[in-house]
């Protein structure tokens, strides 16, 4: 028996599903077509959120080792700093930058900061296929180094820095944690992995996952990983599920829906973290597709998962 969508989510997502059904799906490898569709979607997600008060944002520039400059956005509560901080890595299947996703992530990060009191750094890392592996993960690691190096001026305790991200950003957050461990720092207090994109080998459709309910499907996944890796051999930092040694990583929070093609790779990664001695909290939410809380923020299950994330952020 195939899994089914949470009844409240079904009601809230039906208009989106109906609209998607009227469009021809983009072909495998069609990055431009996916980007074109992403822009109005992320604008709609931003418009569905309530305005957030009590958060300010300052802009900074990060020079990279290969001569590029990355835009950084530092979000902080106006009520004062907590001493902790989070590098937040946005999602987008390894192929969407903030050029496509900025409105939604500006709203989401502001909400996390307002509700947790923890400031966040959002980096516009470069994406594939224009910038294949290892550029995205190296950009994200450079942003972590920037946050650590500037901790004093930002009012941050360098021992209370965490990394977080969703989808592709969750995979990059896991990769950054591995890089920080293997390069001797910066030390991380926690990693929050939100339905992370961890394994380039997730390509075979699961018959228990109805295709019409997949908000990120197997063709999308093949496209994203293909753009990132090309014909190259994946490193454990680009595809953290391939890492053999998960010891020495920071305490981990991970959540995923059971209608997400990342479900099995996420559960397996959490189990391996725990077996390696890493304190790990895993939530698998029944009836929830990829990014459900962003697509239907008013649903009860969306409010529950966001509350869990806020709880972990406050504990950093």
> Is the distance from CB of 100 to CB of 38 less than 8 angstroms?
yes
Note if 235 is an active site residue. no
> Is the distance from CB of 90 to CB of 284 less than 8 angstroms?
no
| Measured torsion, CA atoms of residues 246, 91, 291, 299, in degrees rounded to the nearest 10 | 110
Tokens encoding 160: 């209370």
Give the dihedral sign, CA 6/9/11/16: negative
- Choice among 82, 84, 148, 167 that is catalytic: 167
> Residue holding tokens 């699961």?
206
Q: Which strands make up the sheet holding 120-123, listed edge to edge?
A: 55-63, 69-77, 120-123, 85-89, 161-166, 190-194, 252-259, 280-289
Residues with catalytic roles: 167
């Amino acid at each position: 028996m195939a899994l089914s969508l949470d009844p409240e989510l079904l009601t809230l997502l039906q208009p989106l599903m109906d609209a998607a059904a009227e469009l021809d799906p983009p072909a495998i490898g069609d990055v431009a077509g996916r980007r074109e569709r992403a822009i109005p979607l992320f604008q709609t997600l931003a418009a569905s959120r309530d305005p957030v008060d009590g958060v300010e944002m300052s802009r900074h520039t990060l020079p990279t080792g290969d001569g590029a400059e990355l835009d950084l956005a530092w979000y902080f509560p106006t009520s004062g700093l907590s001493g902790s901080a989070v590098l937040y890595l946005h999602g987008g299947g390894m192929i969407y930058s903030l050029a496509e996703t900025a409105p939604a992530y500006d709203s989401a990060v502001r909400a996390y900061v307002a509700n947790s009191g923890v400031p966040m750094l959002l980096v516009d890392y470069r994406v594939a296929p224009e910038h294949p592996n290892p550029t995205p993960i190296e950009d994200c690691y450079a942003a972590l180094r920037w946050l650590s190096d500037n901790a004093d001026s930002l009012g941050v305790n360098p021992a209370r820095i965490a990394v977080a991200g969703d989808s592709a950003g969750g995979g990059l957050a896991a990769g950054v944690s591995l890089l920080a461990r293997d390069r001797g720092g910066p030390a991380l207090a926690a990693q929050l992995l939100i339905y992370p994109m961890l394994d380039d080998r997730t390509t075979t459709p699961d018959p228990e996952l109805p295709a019409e309910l997949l908000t990120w499907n197997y063709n999308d996944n093949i496209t994203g990983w293909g753009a990132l890796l090309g014909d190259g051999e994946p490193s454990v930092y680009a595809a953290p599920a391939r890492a053999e040694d998960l010891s020495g990583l920071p305490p981990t929070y991970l959540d995923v829906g059971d209608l997400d093609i990342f479900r099995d790779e996420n559960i397996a990664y959490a189990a391996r973290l725990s077996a390696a001695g890493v304190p790990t909290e895993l939530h698998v939410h029944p009836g929830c597709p990829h990014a459900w809380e962003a697509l239907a923020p008013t649903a009860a299950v969306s409010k529950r998962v966001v509350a869990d994330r806020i709880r972990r952020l406050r504990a950093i």
